[in-house]
Amino acid sequence: MINHQPETKLPFFYKPSLPLRLDIQFFADEDEQGGGNQSTAVVDEDNQQPAVGDEDNQQQQGKSPSTITLTEEELQKRLQSETDKRVTEAIKKREESLRKEMEEKIKIERKEAEELAKLTADERAKFESEKEKAQLQKEKDALEEDRKAFQHERLFLETEKALTNESLDDRLAPFLIGEDAEKTYENIKIYKEIHQEAVQKEVNEILKGKKPLIGGKQNLSEIEQLESERQDALKRKDLATAVALKNKIHQLNKK
C-alpha cells in the first residue's frame, strides 16, 4: 500500500501575480516598425497565452505595467541610426536634384544641336558667334561686379582712415562715403564744418549763461572755466569741442 504524501511547493522562484506586459514591436526590425499600427501583447507566463485584461485592470489592482528601458549605449545606437538615416536621405535628395539639373542641361544642349542641324553653314556660324558674345558679356559683367565690390571696400577703409585723421568717429564712414575718394573727402569736410559750428554754438550758449557750466565752477574766471571745460572734453576724447574751446581761450587772451 502506497501512502500518498501531500505535495509541498517550495517558493524557489518568484511567481508574478500579474501578466508581464511587453511591447512586441520593440523586437521587430526598423522596416516592420515603420508600417502598420503598433500593438502591445500581455502574456501570461504560466501558459504563454495572451491574458485577458488590460492596463486599466492592472492599475485597478494597484500594479503598474512592466516597461522596457534602454541603456545609454542602446539609446546612442538608435540615435546614431536615425542620424545616419537622415543623412542618407539628404544625400539621395541632393543626388536626385543634381541628376535632374544634368538632365535639363543635356536636354537644352540637345535642342540647340537639333536647331543647329537645321541651319545653313552661315546661319550656324552666326548662331555660334552670338552665343560666344553672350557668354563673354556675362563673364565681363561678373568681373565688373567684383571690381566694384573691391573698390567700394577699399574706399570704405580709406573713409574710416580719413575720419580718424580728422579726429572724427570712424563709425560715420557708412554715412559719409561717396561715389569716389574725391566725393568722400568733400562729404567729410562739410560734416566737420557743420560739427564745429554746432560745437562752437554750444560753447557760446554756455558762456552766455544760458546753460550751467559742468562741475559747478562758476567761481572761476572765464578763461579758467573754458580751460576746465577743454580738459573735460579731452578726457571725453571730444577733440572737436576741445579745439573750439581752445580757440575761444585764444581770442580772450588777445583782449
How do residues 233-243 score in pLDDT, each as one tens digit?
A: 888 877 777 77
Residue 18: pLDDT above 50?
A: no
| Residue 217, pLDDT above cutoff 90 | no
Grid cell, residue 86, equals: 537622415
Indicate if 83 and 104 belong to the same structural domain. yes
Query: E strands, 12-162, where?
Result: 20-22, 41-44, 49-50
Looking at residue 63, its pLDDT comes to: 53
Phi-psi region of 48 (alpha: psi -120 to 50; beta: other; left: phi over 0): left
Q: What is the band of 127 on the pLDDT scale with cuts at 50, 70, 90?
A: confident
Per the structure, the count of domains in the chain is: 3
For the chain, the straight-line distance linking the first and the last C-alpha, in angstroms and rounded, comes to: 149
Residue of 39 and 122 predicted with greater confidence: 122
- Apex 252 CA angle, 241 and 198, nearest 5: 30
Decide if pLDDT at 210 tops 70: no
pLDDT at residue 115 is higher than 90:
no
- Which set of grid coordinates corresponds to residue 53? 485584461
Rounded to two decimals, what is the model's pTM? Answer: 0.38
* CA dist 64 → 57, 69, 70, 170 (Å): 10, 15, 18, 71
Confidence of residue 155 (pLDDT cuts 50, 70, 90): very high
Amino acid at 204: N
Task: With respect to residue 101, please indicate whether it lies within any of the assigned structural domains.
Answer: yes
Q: How far apart are CA 201 and CA 241, in angstroms?
A: 10
Do 116 and 186 have their domain in common? Answer: no
Q: Which domain holds residue 59?
A: 20-31+39-68
One domain, residues 134 and 178: no
CB 219 within 8 A of CB 193: no
154 within domain boundaries: no
